[in-house]
Each structure stands twice: as C-alpha cells, then as structure tokens.
Structure 1
C-alpha cells in the first residue's frame, strides 16, 4: 500500500469547497479528471455504503469512514462493481481522504490516498488535475 498526498490552496471558504466536492452537479464536473461522466449513489453519512460509477455503471463501492462537514471526508474502498455485480477486493486499508483547513487565504484542501501499487501512476496523473478543477469551481462559481 502506498500513501499519496496532494494539497491545493483555494481562495474560497471551506463551506464553498465542501459544496463543490460533494454536490451532485459539481462532483460530476471535478471527477471528469478521473473518468468522464463519473457520479455516485448513496448518502455520505458515516457508516453508509457509497457507490462510485462511470457512465457504464461500473466502478467501486466504499464505506464512509468519516464525515465532518466542511472539515473531513474519508472513504474506505471495499470492492468493484461490474455489470451490476459487487465484488469485494482485498485492498486492505485503501482509503481516500479529503481534509479542508481554513486559513487567511481561504481553504487548504488536502487529498490523501492509500492505494495498492497498481493505481499509483493513475493517481499521480489524475489527482492534481481533479484538485485544480475543484479550485476553479470553488473560486469561480456563484
């Protein structure tokens, strides 16, 4: 398992950044950095299962480990979904965490990923692009 961490400074309030991260419309926009047409189903309450899909309804499912509004969201990735079938994966502590810290310039957004080695290059390429989209949406949306 490898840990990757990315941060970006955003000239917007934590409330605005949080809204961009998790509102349906803006979630679909910033996650195009990973896969065009991405979306999720489920609530983001701690302990619930959330399903992350591509446009073909394939993807993965995760448990919300932590949800502290405007501060932190953490997912534990549990398995894959293909053709509607959920298949558990032995990914260990494969987590994805978003941490928002208010400061004088707005919000520092940190994304931390615990990932199997197979996905490291994908995240190194895609995650910084996703954070740039979050920044753009947070600073430029009404």
Structure 2
C-alpha cells in the first residue's frame, strides 16, 4: 500500500469547503473526475458509521468513518467494494482496498482554507490518483469560491 497527499488553497471558509465536500448537491459535481452521478449513502455521519461511495450504477466503495471533527477533518477506512448496490468484501479490488485510509483535513487562516487529502492505495493506481485528485480538488475550489 502507498500513500499520497494532495492539497489546495481555497479562498473560502472551512464551513463552505466542508459543505462543498459532503453536501448531496455538490458532492456529485466535484467527484465527476472519478465517475458520474456519484452519491453518498450513510445512516449517520458519526464515528464508526458505515458509508457507501457509489456512482449512478450503484458501483463504488464501502467504508467506515474512522474519525470526524465537523468542518476540520474526516477519515474513512475502506472495507470493500459495491457492485450493483451489493457490498462485496471478496473481490480482488475489495481485497486491495481493505484497510486503506482516506483522510480530509481543512485548515483556515485569514479566509484561506487549505484542503489536504491523504489516501492509501495500491501502487498500480498511483498515476490515476496523481491525475484525478488534483482535478477533483480544483473542482472543490471552483465550487467553494463561487
């Protein structure tokens, strides 16, 4: 497993950036670089809660919230894959992502919020993430600065 960190400065408050990241209307917009019609399914935004990150075909990832400090940070531990709306922990992809962490940190100073994303991944996805994460963060910036 490898880890990469991606960061961007945004001329907006932490409150605005947090809302852009996790609001049901803006989440699908900034995540289009990964896939289309994305949404999040969870019963609770609390530590230990299960969360599904899925696209319009109900394919994606199943994770749990490891830690959350609203408007400051949130981290997820990936557990498996979602295929056609069904959680699966036995596929090759599920096994590759199991236990990997994805963390978001927001730090605000003088009206500028630095958003940092740290993600664990299988080395074969390095080029993909090095391309898509900066694009996704740029979309978060554009939406937040409107």
Superposition TM-score, scaled by structure 2 size: 0.91
> How far, CA to CA, are the matches of 1:96 and 1:108 in structure 2?
17
2:100 matched residue in structure 1: 94
1:48 matched residue in structure 2: 49
1:77 CA displacement: 0.6
Q: What secondary structure is seen at the aligned counterpart in 2 of 1:25?
A: coil
> How far, CA to CA, are the matches of 1:83 and 1:21 in structure 2?
24
> How far, CA to CA, are the matches of 1:36 and 1:85 in structure 2?
18
Q: Check whether the contact 1:9–1:105 (CA below 8 A) recurs between aligned residues.
A: no
Q: What secondary structure is seen at the aligned counterpart in 1 of 2:45?
A: coil
Provide, for residues 82-103 of structure 1, a one-character-per-residue CA deviation record: whole Å limited to 9, x for no partner.
Answer: 1232111333531111100011
Q: What secondary structure is seen at the aligned counterpart in 1 of 2:5?
A: strand
1:7 CA displacement: 0.6
Superposition TM-score, scaled by structure 1 size: 0.93
Q: What secondary structure is seen at the aligned counterpart in 1 of 2:30?
A: helix
2:116 matched residue in structure 1: 110
> How far, CA to CA, are the matches of 1:14 and 1:113 in structure 2?
20
Q: What secondary structure is seen at the aligned counterpart in 2 of 1:77?
A: strand
Q: Please say if 1:23 is aligned against 2:23.
A: yes
Unaligned runs of 5+ in 1: none
1:105 CA displacement: 4.4
> How far, CA to CA, are the matches of 1:130 and 1:46 in structure 2?
25
Q: How many residue pairs end up in the alignment? A: 140
- What value does the CA root-mean-square deviation take over the aligned residues? 1.2
**Runs of 4+ in structure 1 over 2 Å off:** 89-93
> How far, CA to CA, are the matches of 1:92 and 1:48 in structure 2?
16
- One of 131, 134, 142 as aligned partner of 1:136: 142
Unaligned runs of 5+ in 2: none
